[in-house]
Structure 1
Amino acid sequence: MMIIKMDDNQKLGENDHRRLGQELDLFVFSDLVGAGLPLFTPRGTVLRDELLRFSEELQAKYGYQKVFIPHITKDELYKRSGHWDKFGEELFLVKSQETKDQMVLKPMNCPHHIQIYASKPRSYRELPIRYMESTVQYRDEKKGELAGLVRVRAISIDDAHVFCTLDQIEQEFTTIMNMIKEMYRVFDMKFRARLSFRDDSDAYIGDAADWEAAQRTIEEVTKKLDLHYDIAEGDAAFYGPKIDIMVTDSLGREWQCATEQLDFVMPKRFGLAYVDSDGSEKTPVMIHKALLGSFERFLSVYLEHTEGRFPLWLAPEQVRIIALKDDANILKMAKDVVKKAKEMGLRAELDDDNETVAKKILAADQMRV
């Protein structure tokens, strides 16, 4: 296998996403910006936009509504949610010069979405309520653990949260799993389910009985869907059990991408409620969901899975028009074709360099056009 030396400590195989990202002009890193903070070029931004658009359109089909939240918050939000105690060392802290409040760059989005739910009284008739948001969250990962796009400090995610009743859990989990199946069928990637449950340690919050009920529900849903799965004790989120989707790439490696998590804890911590059909006040259940998961991690996996040969709908450059010779009439005709292609919504470019046709075809192939 051909390898190239990227720096003093790394040698990358020709199929490594860091090498492909450089050769296909998708993303770069800058020492001035900082480690773990990728910068996406115009071509890479097409991938980001198209993948997140695909996710959003799929979710909208299943009743999810877009919301938007700020990227900073007062530390009180995460102290209430439990993230401050659990992830304190991974938080980026920002001090307000105006109010002197301790602010935090958001490491996740669920506490914010909870505030939208809690902004007004809710009825059982409204449930389930499904929020989605393609956004960026930030974690101060240790520098030695950063690796290309696999682990970064600015994480793009197609995040979503469902607020529902106990009776709606099975249907919502089933719907989410059907969405996951639909998405990864498009990507031509196989997957299995990993049920991430708690162990006997004190790393988790919430009532043990709620945990047992949640884990039992998740396993029952997985069995009904006839999914191949295994159980990983000790891998649960601190607030609840989850189903992690382990995707297999073309090299036979497994990666955790999509996830759906059941949460009885957070709604209680924030005092969430809805009025049930009998007039009583009850606490909703919360489901955390991401289809792609970290966009950066997914792109690293999919880039290596496809060797950069993306399907047409996703390709940064869908059409390249090659001018056969340096002739004014031919160039005008070629430019007209490019213009019409763009008007049709295609991502088209013109190669009018003074090179042979063979070299132009080779250049297009090298860029996976």
Structure 2
Amino acid sequence: MSGNGADPSDIGGAGAAVTVVLPDGQSRELAGGATGADLAASLGRRAAKDALIAVADGEQLDLNRPLPDGASVSLVFPSSDEGLEVLRHSTAHVLAQAVLRLYPGATFSIGPPITDGFYYDFDLGLDDGGRARTFSDEDLEAIEAEMRAIVAARQPFIRAEVSRAAADELFAAHPYKIEILDGEADDPASGPEGGVITTYRNTDEFVDLCRGPHVPDTGRLGHFKLMRVAGAYWRGDESRQMLQRIYGTAWGSKAELAAHLERLEEAAKRDHRRLVTDLDLLSFPAELGGGLAVWHPKGAVVRKIMEDYSRDRHETGGYEFVYTPHLANARLFETSGHLDFYAEGMYPPMEMDNGVYYPKPMNCPMHCLIFNQRQRSYRELPLRLFELGTVYRYERSGTLHGLMRIRGFTQDDSHLYVAPEQLPDEIERLLDFVLSVLNAFGFEDFEFKLSTQDPEKYVGDDEGWEQATAALRAALDRRGHDYMEAAGEAAFYGPKIDIDVTDAIGRSWQLSTIQVDFNLPERFNLRYTGADGEVHRPIMIHRALFGSIERFFGVLVEHYAGAFPPWLAPVQAVVLGVRADHDSFAESVVAQLAEAGYRAEMMPADDPLGARIRRAKLTKVPYVLVVGDDDVAAGTVGVNPRGQPVQRDVPLGEFLARLADEVERKAVDVGGAGSTTVDVGGAGSTAADAGAAADSAGD
């Protein structure tokens, strides 16, 4: 809502020439009062046509605002992330204009750009029956048509600075805007209290409260689509008004929009919430309550494989296993600080005759108790504790999303206690360990983010935070990992490294975290005796590798579209006889596979062979084995690998050796083809075929 600079009416006056410095270091002299649009025109027809805003000394400016003399100036184009944000923000304004035009009496609140799109929240008032009015799918079509008419009109975005009294008059019919002006709403458009109030007007009928900047006119927009409607409480407060939120997506070109919609279609096919039901992996019974899952036998098989692999790697990696209870006395969470800074994420207390208890939201306080049960020596460090510990966190019902946002989940949680001089090497060791485990599950593309101290939400002293941040940064540098720094995004414990993986269709998932903590050792008074005989304080490292078993499982389901590689598949082979008289041989093949340690099922010949093969493939099993007369005689099988050509007369021993090799090396390809195909259930598509990027929700 705040902004600086002159009103457009001040632009264009005569004056001394201005000089600006371009990104390549060259200077360019422009006429007095020159704007970003003038700079774009001086750079050529293409720049004049495509530029959206200017950035002068780090401040974003509309193209019709004058450029400061001596400023470093760059132009922003639709091909950049910054340009897409401007496009999406401006498209959100057009959405609001269309809704207010079509629905007299409606009012609006906020409409920010988000990852891959935008949204705007509306209050449509009550219908004749006193019920809150809502949007329908048909309404979205009409709204989008109205938006396109606004785009075709090429309406300019006109910025103005107004007084509070003028703003109150402009938005008298829109109470949510007045609340924003009062500074009571956490609105992305609002500026600091007492700052300049800026508005953007498209026509005499539509004005919005906004700090901008925006595209020059609505004609620069057009590559957008409205996606869906959702309910959203005003300010995220369940006690406040339920608003109607319209989500949309917007891009810089028709081709980019089409590619995004195609990615969304592919993502919908991979939606784990549908696939876990189709494949009979798990469910979310209403009787159990929101955000709580039960695992069916096939899903439990995959989960057990994941957990067994994690246990094996930790056992050989120098970790010691521990178990802790599911609830604890409130005193524990007072000591850890969770009741101070995490109470909203915890379930309500349980009043008992001997105190107040909470279901645990974290495992770390209990691990500190284990460390503190006896005097520790420097010879025991690093002490690496590992637990598959189930925790419980209260998530609002509107935020629940299958396995990705859930209320009860199990973390592969490790807490490492190290001497200060051991910290750098231990972080490097952790980085290697995390990546090797993620590699085993088929992830090869990683992004690293170093989050530093939140200026307000932190505990401990600045010196400890600085030491921890330096150690994390040094480990990333020594391992040669490129990373971005996220200033102010680490709260409470200490700075951290987040590791994101890219899935088969280009989406990024935040999974693993390595966080250095000087604070819990202080709170729990953790100590060890050093080689010098003196008492020292250890440093604690929090490390979640999968993040949670449930969420990681959901990511795997979507990454593989439910078509797990052989080592993870709940059923590795389905055996079919051509006719009923082949069923006994099919059963013997299943028995031999089971004896060798593999998971196989036999499908009786009670339907035509083609129908049974199709039914087996719908389960996304890696192998369908078909046996007929020749196979019974020769001890062979017909091998139908997922996404690969059928192979006839394969000796059973040869197939077993092939399967053993694929399971041993945790291959993601099927059928010995030597590819890295991520099959989506018989289509034979690859990660490259699926597209380079995808929707990451972002809201």
TM over 0.5: yes
| Equivalent pair of 2:347/2:393 in contact (CA under 8 Å) | yes
Residue 94 of structure 1 deviates from its aligned partner by 4.7
> Deviation digits for residues 218-250 of structure 1, max 9, x if unmatched?
111111111111011222141111111111112
* Structure 1 position 192 matched with structure 2 position 447: yes
Is 1:271 the counterpart of 2:525? The answer is: yes
Answer yes or no: is the 8 Å Cα contact 1:342–1:348 preserved in 2.
yes
- 362, 365, 368: which is aligned to 2:614? 362
Q: 1:24 to 1:221 in 2, by over 3 A?
A: same
Residue identity opposite 2:611 in structure 1: K
Secondary structure of the corresponding residue to residue 545 of structure 2: strand
Contact 1:94 1:103 in 2 (8 A): yes
Distance 2:616 2:362 in 1: 40
Runs of 4+ in 1 over 4 A off after TM superposition: 8-12
Deviations 1:86-105 (A, max 9, x none): 111221235254x3421111
Which is further off, 342-351 or 253-262?
Answer: 342-351
1:55–1:292 Cα contact (<8 Å) kept:
no
Q: Output the aligned Cα RMSD.
A: 1.8
Q: Would you say the 8 A contact 2:328–2:358 is kept in 1?
A: yes
Equivalent positions of 1:1-369 (< 5 A) are 13-95=268-350, 97=352, 99-189=353-443, 190-201=445-456, 203-327=457-581, 330-369=582-621
Say which SS state the counterpart of residue 194 (structure 1) adopts.
strand
Between stretches 341-350 and 37-46, larger displacement belongs to: 341-350
| Matching residue's letter, 1:20 | L
Please give the alpha-carbon distance, in whole angstroms, between the structure 2 residues aligned to 1:40 and 1:72. 22
The one-letter code matched in structure 1 to 2:565 is: P
| CA shift digits 1:310-338 (9 cap, x unpaired) | 111110101211132223xx333322322
The 1-side partners of 2:489 and 2:579 are apart by 61
User: Which structure is larger by alpha-carbon Rg, 1 or 2?
Assistant: 2
Q: Take 1:363 and 1:30, find their aligned partners in 2: how far apart are those partners?
A: 26
CA distance in 1, matches of 2:562, 2:350: 42
Contact 1:261–1:288 (8 Å) recurs in 2: yes
| Gap regions ≥5 residues in structure 2 | 1-228, 232-264, 622-699
Cα distance between partner residues in 2 of 1:194 and 1:277? 35
Letter in 1 for 2:473: E
Alpha-carbon spacing, 1:94–1:343, altered in 2? closer, same or farther (3 Å) = farther
Please state how far the C-alpha of 1:9 moved relative to its aligned partner: 7.3
Give the share of equivalent positions with the same residue, in percent. 38
CA contact (8 A) 1:272 1:284 kept: yes
Q: Distance in 1 between matches of 2:399 and 2:513?
A: 22
Contact 1:55 1:291 in 2 (8 A): no
Cα deviation, 1:194-215, whole Å, max 9, x if unaligned, reads 11111322x1000111001111
Counterpart-to-counterpart distance in 2, 1:345 and 1:166: 46
> CA separation in 1, counterparts of 2:345 and 2:430?
29
Residue aligning to 1:5: none
Deviates more, 1:342-351 or 1:263-272: 342-351
CA contact under 8 A between 2:579 and 2:605: conserved in structure 1? Answer: no
Could you tell me how far apart the structure 2 residues matched to 1:47 and 1:23 are? 15
> How far did 1:57 drift?
1.4
- Mapped to 1, the partners of 2:449 and 2:307 lie a distance apart of 24
- Shift in Å at residue 340 of structure 1? 2.7
Higher relative contact order (CA 8 A, sep 6+): 1
- Pairs aligned (count): 358
Contact 2:515 2:542 (8 Å CA) reproduced: yes
1:90 and 1:127 map into 2 onto residues whose CA distance is 32
Structure 1 unaligned segments of length 5 or more: list them.
1-7
Matched residues in 2 for 1:197 and 1:55: separation? 29
Amino acid in structure 2 at the alignment position of 1:59: H
Q: Is the 8 A contact 1:240 1:261 kept in 2?
A: yes
Partner deviation per Cα, 1:257-285 (whole Å, 9 max, x = no partner): 01111010000100000000111000001
